[in-house]
A and B are shown apart, each in its own frame.
Chain A
Amino acid sequence: MAPITTENAALRVSPYHDGGAPQTGAELIAANPYRPWPARITSIQQLTEHEKLFEFRFIDENIRNAFHHAPGQFVELSIFGVGEAPISISSSPSKSGFIELCVRRAGEFTQRLHEMQCGDIVGIRGPYGRPFPFELMKGHDVLLVAGGLGIAPLRSLINNIHDERSEFGKVTIIYGSRSPQEVMFRDQFEMWRHRKDFDLYLTVDHPDDTWDGEVGLVTKPFQHLQVDADRTFGAVCGPPVMYKFVVQEMRNKGISYDRIYMSFERHMKCGMGKCGHCQIGHQYCCIDGPVFNYWEAKNIQGSM
């Protein structure tokens, strides 16, 4: 593949600044940040009627080894000809070699992705964005609140905490869905429900006969919570309307502005703070976020 050059040799411009071709995966990725790398779908799990969990592995070993993400980050997924879409990573960084993306069938691109099968190849570039402050959260209680598809990025954080459980204090998870049919990762939650070291509240707006969890909005379980505000971090992800209410509940419990973290959804087209699509006020969701703390969010026009 030819590097970027000018016609005039004296003005040769190359992404490979020392002249040589890139060797390591990190150098390959940096050489052209717009270039997606081929990744194979290695597993597909139907989570609900509209959501599937895809597992991808980079085909190039160098790229696979160079790809490191943190919970809350996202990738740009390519199906060549169809286009590109930002999708948050659902798997924990503690498991390497593959990434999992939870995708709702909601538009042209995701429709096409849902039609794909194991073994099919897509393009992936990233990871992008400021993640949840995992290291900062260590030694603290964590209160995680997800609504609907918001569980996708939070699952990365939840699983990461799970894998380093002893580093954290009390861990509480509240996950709200519209109906029992829309609850994702049910097996995983079912397993955790019986563990003493996770406090789990599943709630739905519209229950059916089989539902034995909470009924009501995602804010409802807050009435049961005993929160030690001085040693608690909050993490929130869900539909746009949810933030205001959940954050207020967390504030009511006394959690500090700068310890309430939330992940925002926007259309990150480039992922690199340039294309402008994901701008919120003066910030770029893709490089300044998507994870912001409440203090930062309050200072961004149009964030909530």
Chain B
Amino acid sequence: MNLVLTRIDNRLIHGQVLETWVPFVKADCIVVANDAIAGNQLKKMMMQASVPSRMRVEIGTVVDSVALLKSSQLDKCRTMLLFGTPADAVRAYRAGLEYKQLNLGNLHADKWQAQLSCTLFLDTTDLADLELLDRAGIKITSRCIPADGERSWRKLIPVVKGRN
């Protein structure tokens, strides 16, 4: 397992990931750990169609993805792992996946309570999940694209807004 980037991005594979992060970390394999996409053949196909064919894409449930990453199949790849929500990241951690850093890209909780940056809207469960991962020693940083500065999620003061 050679994880070059672990990222939470509710849009999963999109322009930011493919156009900025892939060349930046020189990834050649993307693992998408998302139950909803894995369970829908059409969504899975669409997502695969947006990636150039020279890159390897593995879309699976969180459990399957963790198993895949722990196996030796992806040893030769520089892998980028994408989660849709902090909850999935916690599940992967509990399933025994070891990762040292976690990048926060885009998150759009519907009933958000806190805004960490212009693209990070978190609700209370998200905050609790991140807290848990942080305690586990994972370095959580917010960085939308490589050209942005990297900032620890703690340093971003949550703008708590009572909404709805």
Report whether chain A binds chain B: no
